[in-house]
Amino acid sequence: MAEASTTPEASPRTPAEDLSPDQLRAAYRLMVLARSVDERCLALQRQGRIGFYAPLQGQEAAQVGCAWALRPEDWIFPAYREIAVALVRGVPLQAIIDQFYGNAEDEVKGRQMPNHFGYRQFRFVTASSPVGTQITQAVGTAMAAKMRKEPIVTISFFGDGTTSSNDFHAGLNFAGVFQAPSIFFIQNNQWAISLPRERQTRSATLAEKAQAYGIAGVVVDGMDLSAVYRVVREARERALSGGGPTLIEAQVYRLGPHSTSDDPKRYRTEAELAEWKGRDPIARMKQQLLSSGDLTEAQDQEYWGEAREQLASVIKHAESVPPVAPSTLFEDLFARPTPALEEQRAELERLLSEGVVKP
């Protein structure tokens, strides 16, 4: 099955315009694909076929709308649930799933825990588990670009809990002082694992924290793809015109668990979950497209079928690929391996050949 091209490069747009019907349809297809990946990967982890997963259900519109407003040359600094952002950027689904499995085709050779992927060729930096570390990295990269007079922005993704981290303060303060061309994108999904948003801060909004750093702060309905696209587009234009960074708070909801190591039933009610499910961004986007005549029920079913078919094919391939070879642990350390490393590699290969060590 041929995969529809839905990357920003394949969907040219005028910065002053909103998304066209064709672009909205393409964005919706990516949201459907992201949700399909989410549902299947949760099942794969429960079945013991992958080791860990951090869902994004409920945050698809925020991620796709945001990523669509960026350009391929911009650098993305994700947290650990930005699959939809990666798909918009053009990262192949196969590469993402291979990383979850840590197989021999995983670009990082099994050296990152599942769900912590990164691809330099797509300017998508590898995620890390400690919250907030990506913020200061993004600001530093933005400053480097500014010094080189490169017309790009950097964007860091993080959740509401990260606004309490040291890196949040250090990154935004530095960016404000030096007017770094950077965007800070909070996906306020209402829960920092089990800590509710009202226990995180007394601030009326998270975006108003921008005032302390002298930068722009914006609150947006993160369930509305078009609204997110507009505020990120404006933030990008502001940064490139010398207007400084922007802190965006996309108000969303995490419909699933924080990760596959979490049980949200222990700290939130079914009533709360049901209320937010009524605002599901995918259902909302579908209804918008149906109402405007830009989507039919038949097309919608086709999108879901294609997404699941593509995913099944990708998983089948990932499971057919052998694990990463043990000897790769000696690679990428030095441009020219040291004699000690060569000796250790030879010893490992001998033990493997004799069956003393199992791959």
Q: Which residues are catalytic?
A: 254, 258, 267
- Cβ neighbors of 260 (< 8 A, separation 6 or more) are 42, 45, 46, 52, 53, 54, 55
DSSP 4: P
Question: Dihedrals φ, ψ of 203, to 5°?
Answer: -60, 140
Query: d(Cα 87, Cα 252) in Å, to the nearest integer?
Result: 19
Burial of residue 271, with CB atoms counted within 10 A of its CB: 0-12 exposed, 13-18 middle, 19 or more buried: exposed
Q: Which of 227-247 are b and which e, b meaning 16 or more Cβ less than 10 Å from the residue's Cβ?
A: bbbbbbbbbbebbeeeebbbb
Q: What angle do CA 257, 125, 245 make, to 5 degrees?
A: 90
Beta strands in the chain (DSSP E): 75-77, 154-159, 182-188, 191-192, 195-196, 216-221, 246-251
User: Are 192 and 160 contacting, i.e. CB atoms less than 8 angstroms apart?
Assistant: yes
User: Are 232 and 248 contacting, i.e. CB atoms less than 8 angstroms apart?
Assistant: yes
Query: d(Cα 39, Cα 46) in Å, to the nearest integer?
Result: 11
